[in-house]
Structures are given as structure tokens and as C-alpha cells.
Amino acid sequence: MDRKTKILNFEFSTSAERQIFFKKMSDLYGWPETFCERALIEYKRFICLAATSGERVVPSRIVDNVWHMHLTFTKSYWHDLCRDRVGKDIHHNPSQTDAESKARDLNGYLNTLNLYRTTFGAKPAHDFWPEPGAYAQKTRNRKLWLPMIGSTALLAACSTLSDFDGSMLFPGFIALIVLLMIINSLRSGGDKKKKRGKRRRGSSGAATGGGCSDCSSCSSCSSCGGGGD
């Protein structure tokens, strides 16, 4: 059996250990068991790329979360996966937050998506391997249109009243937009605080980046955390 097949066929030593692994991920990230199962498959594919491609690879954040969890199952990770399946150690080092490192991780992530397509003959599942910036752009678009939609709806409701003063339509429209934008800005600040809290305990957001792995001609693979939106 070749190395690629060995890695893709990796399983926990017992069904009980597998259930504990899924339970911990579900408790930490809020994932249902079916999602955990799919995430484990994508994680094994990432490990396969790290071990066989000879190139620096970067996982998505979800895949990186699975990686972090597996590292806490020390025997399963270092003995059953790295020693018996990969044939070398794959280390995970902290990420760098400077602009140059983030750009390097982004390029590595894009290269990983291409390697995935070439190696497995399929497009990476968007739920687990999102395109860079897709989530952030979707959020920005939603924040832009919310004030417009809300103010239009409120003005439409007001216009149905018999005593509605049409001369106040435009000033009222502007005032509502400003008010809703302020409210939306305050909510965004709260969302950022929540995201920071999630990162402290392990974020499950499907953003790009997450880690990197250099496995060219070394006896062990060196990996590090990456950036992300």
C-alpha cells in the first residue's frame, strides 16, 4: 500500500476514540457529527498533500482546527498517523502575523487548492476549502445593503399613513439610513468581540489560511499556523 493510500485510510485505533474525537470537536466548534466526519476526511487529504507533494501546503481554518484537535490525541497523531502512515513527523508551529507572512500563507493556500485538484481529481469542497476573501466579501455586502433595505421598508410603511408628509420623504430617508448604519456599526463591533473570543478557544469559521507545511526533502515535516480572514 503506498503512502497516499495509507494516509487516506487512516482511522482511530478504536471506535470509542473516534467518538471522543468527534464529541470534542462538536463541543468546541458546534459541528454536528456528519460535519465532523467530512472534516476528518478533508484533514486526511491535507496531511496527504503535506506528506507527498514535496511543496509547502496551507490548510483552511476548518481543516486546521481538526489538525489542532488531533495533535491533542498524541498517540494517535505521532504514532499511528505520523510514524505508521506518513513515515515522518509533521510539526505544527505558531503562525506569524506580519504582512509578509500573511501574504506567503495566502499564496501557499492558493497553491494548496491547486494541488488538491491535481492530486484528488476534484474541486475542493467549498464548505471546507473556501476561496480567499469569499466569506469576508459576503459579510461586507450584507452590511452594505442592510441599512438600505431597512430604511426603504420603513419609509414604505410610513407612506401608507394618511397624514404622511411627502415633503419629509428625502430627509427622513437619509436620517433612517444614517441611524441604521450606526446601529449596524455597533453590532459589527460586538461581532468582532465575539470572533476574538472564538479564536481564543478555537474558531470554526470557514476562512482561508490556518497552517503551513514544508515537506520537501526533510526527514520530518515542519508546519506552522497561517493567516485568514
- Give pLDDT tens digits for 93-131: 767 889 999 999 999 999 999 999 999 999 999 999 999
Total-model pTM: 0.67
Q: What is the mean pLDDT of residues 158-187?
A: 64
> Can you tell me which residue has the cell 397624514?
163
Task: Give the model's pLDDT for residue 22.
Answer: 98
For residue 93, list its beta bridge partners: 224
Give tens-digit pLDDT for 67-91.
999 999 999 999 999 999 999 999 8
pLDDT over threshold 70, residue 201:
no
Longest dimension (CA), the chain: 81
Q: Tell me the pLDDT band of 4, cut-offs 50, 70 and 90.
A: very high
